Amino acid sequence: MNLSIVVPIYNEEQNLPLLAEAIRKALTDIHKTYECVFVDDGSSDRSAQVLKQIAAADPHHQPVFLRRNFGQTAALSAGFDHARGEIIVTLDADLQNDPADIPMLVSKIEEGYDLVSGWRQSRQDSMIRNLPSYVANWIIGQVTGIKLRDSGCTLKAYRAEVAQSLHLYGEMHRFIPALASWMGINLIEVPVRHHARKFGKSKYGLSRVFRVFLDLITVKFLLSYSASPIQFFGKFGFVSSGLGWLVCAAAIIMKFTQGRTLTGNPLFYLFTFMQIIAVQLVLIGLVAEMNMRTYHEVQKKKTYVVRKDSAGR
């Protein structure tokens, strides 16, 4: 199998037949074996039935049905797990992404890139939708160091090994380029088409801004410190302890110059407080270290990712 097309679907019954047809058209000329892994994310409309009809008519379709609505990130993750192609392309089901871009993305992978990320150059969404995205992309770039114009575009192509080593949860599909960068990948962003939604409606409101922000903190932590949390917490512990000693010195100086007793000086209590905080932070770091050990050892997770073409594999 050369190519797997993964599509997360939640209540898109009207879009599905058009999407399946557009994908079929886009892939007729590229001479590749392919499968479509449409993932029904517990839709409450007729999407699942429509999907079964499509699959019955076209053997390229290997749909996956989730038992309930787990969210777009989980749906993508399920798609990756079921995909058998060497290259995986993901796109939205709502026809906002254009399947006609798939051959171009695939050719980029064949040029040697590991992840090709779509950039909705002229995006057809409302201003209230676009502005938070713009800000989010800027912040994601600053925080993770992976500066893309459009990190959240679902239309992406992956070398399968890259997609399948991501461990996605929460709202993390928006940070895939940053998460994947941890593995050491060749990443490129290419302009893709974008259309306004014709059928159905967007599944997200403004509340996503907060969820994305919280997940961003997690991603930053995972990328920078998960290998060694004591480094992260310990650093703050040292800062707290150091500042505490400065405060203590000030209190001692005040004792000799102004005759203030230590126990009568709030600064002395601040010193005590900061030492306690310092110890707590170091202990949290140690607990997190134990956690990471369990994580790596119990799940046999590796602290590195090997290229598929390495010798002896």
Q: Which residues bind ligand UDP (CB under 6 A)?
A: 8-10, 12, 41, 69, 71-72, 75, 92-94, 96, 202-204
Q: How far is the CB of 308 from ligand UDP (least distance, A)?
A: 28
Nearest approach, Cβ of residue 94 and ligand UDP (Å): 4
What's the closest the beta carbon of residue 131 comes to Mg ion, in angstroms? Answer: 16
To Mg ion, the closest distance from the beta carbon of 203 in angstroms equals 8
72 touches Mg ion (CB under 5 A): no
Instruction: Quote the CA–CA distance of 250 and 60 in Å, as a whole number.
Output: 75
Measured from the CB atom, is 173 or 271 closer to ligand UDP?
173
Query: Residue 94, interface with Mg ion (CB under 5 A)?
Result: yes
Q: List strand residue ranges (DSSP E) for the chain, in order.
A: 3-9, 34-40, 64-65, 87-90, 115-120, 156-159, 187-192
Q: Which range in 62-70, 88-96, 240-248, 279-287 contacts Mg ion by CB under 5 A?
A: 88-96
Secondary structure of residue 126 in the 3-state scheme: coil
Determine the size of the site formed for Mg ion (CB under 5 A).
3
Give the range of 95-103, 135-143, 254-262, 265-273 binding Mg ion by CB under 5 A.
Answer: 95-103
Q: Residues 6 or more apart from 58 whose CB is under 8 A from it?
A: 20, 24, 36
Q: How far is the CB of 144 from ligand UDP (least distance, A)?
A: 20
Residue 101 in contact with Mg ion, rule: CB under 5 A: no
96 binds Mg ion (CB under 5 A): yes
- Count other Cβ atoms within 10 Å, centred on residue 219: 23
DSSP code at position 175: G
Q: Which is nearer to ligand UDP, 9 or 162 (CB)?
A: 9
Angle (nearest 5°) at CA 217 between 91 and 294: 95
Contact 3, 87 (CB under 8 A): yes
Q: With respect to ligand UDP, which residue has the nearer C-beta, 12 or 150?
A: 12
Q: Which does 13 bind (CB under 5 to 8 A by kind): ligand UDP, Mg ion, none?
A: none
Determine the distance from the C-alpha atom of residue 69 to the mean position of all C-alpha atoms in its chain, rounded to a whole number: 18
User: Do 108 and 190 contact (CB within 8 A), yes or no?
Assistant: yes
- Which amino acid belongs to residue 162? V
Tell whether residue 90 is a contact of Mg ion (CB under 5 A): no
Residue 72's binding partner out of ligand UDP, Mg ion, none, with CB under 5 to 8 Å set by partner kind:
ligand UDP
Q: At what angle do helices 47-57 and 15-27 cross, to 10 degrees?
A: 30
Q: Which residues bind Mg ion (CB under 5 A)?
A: 92, 94, 96
